[in-house]
Amino acid sequence: MDEFYSSSEKLLKFIEKSPSCFHVVNNISEELEAKGYKKLSENERWELTLGGRYYVVRNGSSLIAFHLPSKGYDGFQLICSHSDSPTFKIKSNPEMEADKKYTKLNVEKYGGMLCAPWFDRPLSVAGRVLVKASDGIRPVLVNIDRDLLMIPNLAIHMNRNANDGYTYNAQIDMCPVFGDETAKDSFLSLIAQSAGTEKENLLDMDLFLYNRQKGTFLGAQEEFIASPRLDDLQCLYGSLQGFLNTEHPKNAVLFCAFDNEETGSVSRQGAASTFLQDVLKRIQFAMGNTQEDYLRAVASSFMISADNAHAVHPNHMDKADPVNRPQMNHGIVLKYNANQKYTTDAVSAAVLRTLCSAGDIPLQVFTNRSDMAGGSTLGNLSNTQVSMRCADVGLAQLAMHSPYEMAGKKDTYYFEKMAALFYQSRIKVTEEGVFIKE
Ligand code: CO
């Protein structure tokens, strides 16, 4: 067993126990607690000390952890990734009856998924519910940890054009079957039971579908991994491990996981919210610094926006840029876009290149074909709230936004290594475009 296998094996285990964004944040919290990180509340006064390790959660689905150096700092160094993935959200009053023979669930799309691979496979339900408690209302995590639902395809005999480019209608085609007619009125009881309460105590819910198929290694040499939610949990997990392994940072370092990237980051807890700015300001003020000090620190800061990238596709090689063609297992992907969907510019790229070269970490480049529009991610949206130098990176993968994606076994390790090196280095800005690495 090598370091590549071991990193990706741990990643697959992390993904398996993280079926929703709420579980992702809960599992990150547990790893932070085990390393002595102290949970802060946004509702209470923060008492911070140099050398301290802390984390804050917003909405149960976004998390920012930070580790202050023991000697003082001049800026922040952070890696941001996202906790959410495209899926289907279960609507209120979820049950629908079909021909008095089936009970199905009413769902709506969350994010931009590939629809076809959601069909004909066991699915289940996870998320959070709000329950009545003696002292008010409390959130409870729920995971129905068994094969529960399926979205059955229409047989080829009844849809002869199914293989000629079918347009899926989310309201008609995508409702999962929950049971036969006897399942009527039992879904909320099942959820309540799983939350350890009665149906009457269930006030509301944020529940999502998830694919039950577990992650695996595949390929002639087991060089690939396949799993649900690799976008973006591969980057999230890699940056978390790099962060946790940093014992003595030389700058104020942060690990950030934001919810709602898949719907555009605009929410109370998304990358375009004030969450990051609020946390950075509160760190500064709790340390006795001023607004002026906050602005100086932001000007001296460096962010890595981490979200998976497209590998060149074996059956669609013409979809990639003619020159910059990322390959799985070939390391960190630096993403560029002239229209600023990605934040990478020559300055931030130069920092990343220096870092990866110092750590002997392979680096490759992604750009869209010039005649194709690509996606967007965290960095440029986060910069609308807190404007700092930023590079966009990712790991090469295939089948992005399918409920079962494919990536490179080695790349999880490369990301952990890059993240650890980034968090351990002091990237000091002396003037515009000039960095000194300590
Ligand atoms: Co992503």
Distance 359 CA to ligand 1 centre (A): 25
pLDDT tens readout for residues 256-271: 999 999 999 999 999 9
Two tokens at 408?
Answer: 């490179």
- Give the global pTM: 0.97
Q: Token pair 């922040």 is at which residue?
A: 76
Low-confidence ranges of the chain (pLDDT < 50): none
Give pLDDT, residue 99. Answer: 96
Distance 229 CA to ligand 1 centre (A): 9
Q: Which residues surround ligand 1, an ion (CB under 5 A)?
A: 231-232, 307
Distance 164 CA to ligand 1 centre (A): 28
Distance 239 CA to ligand 1 centre (A): 14
How many alpha carbons fall within 13 Å on the CB side of residue 414? 23
Distance 377 CA to ligand 1 centre (A): 7
Rounded CA-CA distance 2/413 in Å is: 10
Distance 75 CA to ligand 1 centre (A): 27
Distance 232 CA to ligand 1 centre (A): 5
Rounded CA-CA distance 181/388 in Å is: 56
Distance 282 CA to ligand 1 centre (A): 28
Give pLDDT, residue 434. Answer: 75
pLDDT tens readout for residues 28-73: 999 999 999 999 999 999 999 999 999 999 999 999 999 999 999 9
Rounded CA-CA distance 364/348 in Å is: 15
Residue (of 107, 19, 93, 26) closest to 61 by Cα position: 26
Rounded CA-CA distance 138/128 in Å is: 10
